[in-house]
Structure 1
Amino acid sequence: MIGIFLVTHGTLGESLIQCACHVLNKRPPQIVQLGLAAQDDPLDILPTARQMLGWADSGEGVLLLTDIYGATPCNVAAKLLEPGRVEGISGVNLPMLLRVLTYRDRDMTNLLQRAVSGGCDGVLHMKNG
């Protein structure tokens, strides 16, 4: 099973995990999150991020999910990437996370495609009637 590691601003990652737990009625295994605060130095937090990456990895790889491309959490996550083994996607939202949790027993390439499509497909213009 591919591990999931959310690296986000503040408590967003834990909030997304809690929402997924509510929908799934359980806490999924091999999912961790690191919330960064404004005062966190990316170089100081990197050793902690590396340790947490190990917690999520059972040997089948880890998918890193982060909120805003180019922001500090994304920059920290980018330092952990290893193509094919540790992959990353920015723009995490709840539909993306739920899709990832549903398809994480597949290969990394398939999971990456499902994650992006889940995140995009979950954004809809709601109309009355």
Structure 2
Amino acid sequence: MIGILLITHGTYGEALVQNVCHVLNKRPPLIAQLGVAAQDDPLDILPLAKLLLNEVDGGEGVLVMTDIYGATPANLALKLLVPGHVEGVSGVSLPMLLRAITYRERGMETMITKAVSGGRDGILNMRDH
């Protein structure tokens, strides 16, 4: 099973994990989150990010999900990437995270593809449906 590490601004990642637990009625295994506060120095929290990454790595890799590409959490996530084993996506949302959890047994490439499409497909004009 591929692990999931959320690295986000503030408590956004924590809220996503709590909502996933609500939707699924259980806490999925191999998932962790790291909230980055405005006053945090990315180099100071990099060791904690690596520790959390190792905790969710069950041997099949980890998908690191972050909120805004180019911001501090994403820049921290970039330091963790190892092609083929630790991959990353930005723009994390509840639909994206649920899709990633659903496809985490099907390999990293499938999981990434489904997570990104889940995020994109989760945005719609409700009047059109």
Deviation at 1:128, TM superposition (A): 7.3
Unaligned runs of 5+ in 1: none
Structure 2 CA distance for partners of 1:121 and 1:37, relative to 1, 3 Å: same
Distance in 2 (alpha carbons) for counterparts of 1:87 and 1:118: 17
Please name the residue that 1:110 is paired with: 110
Q: Secondary structure at the match of 2:125?
A: coil
Deviation readout 1:95-119 (Å, 9 max, x if unpaired) = 0000011110011011110010000
Please name the residue that 2:15 is paired with: 15
Percent of paired sites with the same residue:
67
Deviation at 1:126, TM superposition (A): 1.4
Deviation readout 1:65-117 (Å, 9 max, x if unpaired) = 00000000000000000011000000000000000111100110111100100
Pairing 1:50-129 to 2, within 5 Å after superposition? 50-127=50-127
Q: RMSD of the TM alignment (CA)?
A: 1.0
Q: Secondary structure at the match of 1:88?
A: strand
Distance in 2 (alpha carbons) for counterparts of 1:22 and 1:52: 22
**Aligned length, in residue pairs:** 129
Which TM-score applies when normalising by structure 1?
Answer: 0.98
Runs of 4+ aligned structure 1 residues displaced above 3 Å come to: none
Distance in 2 (alpha carbons) for counterparts of 1:109 and 1:126: 30
Q: Which amino acid aligns with 1:109?
A: E
Q: Which amino acid aligns with 1:95?
A: P
Which TM-score applies when normalising by structure 2?
Answer: 0.98
Distance in 2 (alpha carbons) for counterparts of 1:81 and 1:128: 38
Q: Which amino acid aligns with 1:11?
A: T
